[in-house]
Amino acid sequence: MVKVKVVRDSDNHPLSVEVKGHALYAPDGSDIVCAAVSILTQTVLFALEDLLGLKTPAVLREGYLLITSPVEIEQEKEEKYYLLIETMLLGLKETARSYPCHILYVEEKTSSSHGCRR
């Protein structure tokens, strides 16, 4: 099962997104659920870097991704950063809704303040 864990700050901004595991929907190379998760997450990482020029702190390896909010971000890029991350989360949530036996999506709040600092 793929487990998606989102930690949000007191302003409801995502501080971190952790995705781990495998969907086990189909054999390797044919698993559309794992493919959907990979495409959603990696496309957003590419967009953050290529379109916004942000070096988002991320750990990426087989069956694991951790994205954390940049400590500093320019004000004009902040809204676009969160829009891209929230778009990814919406896709992951909807995929989890469609494949509840293969993706677990959870969110938690922390009492800390806003992730990005201008």
Q: Please give the residue range of the domain that contains residue 13.
A: 2-109
Q: Does residue 118 sit within a domain? A: no
94-102 mean pLDDT: 97
Write a three-state SS string for 52-106: CCCCCCEEEECCEEEEECCCECCHHHHHHHHHHHHHHHHHHHHHHHHCCCCEEEE
Q: What is the pLDDT of residue 28?
A: 87
Q: Could you tell me the CATH number of the domain that includes residue 88?
A: 3.30.70.1490
pTM of the model: 0.89
Q: Does residue 114 sit within a domain? A: no
**CA gap 88, 103 in Å, rounded:** 14
Residue 112, pLDDT above cutoff 70:
no
SS3 1: coil
Domain count, the chain: 1
Q: Does residue 23 sit within a domain? A: yes
Q: What tens digit of pLDDT does each residue of 47-74 get?
A: 999 999 998 889 999 999 999 998 788 8
- pLDDT band at residue 118 under the 50/70/90 scheme: very low
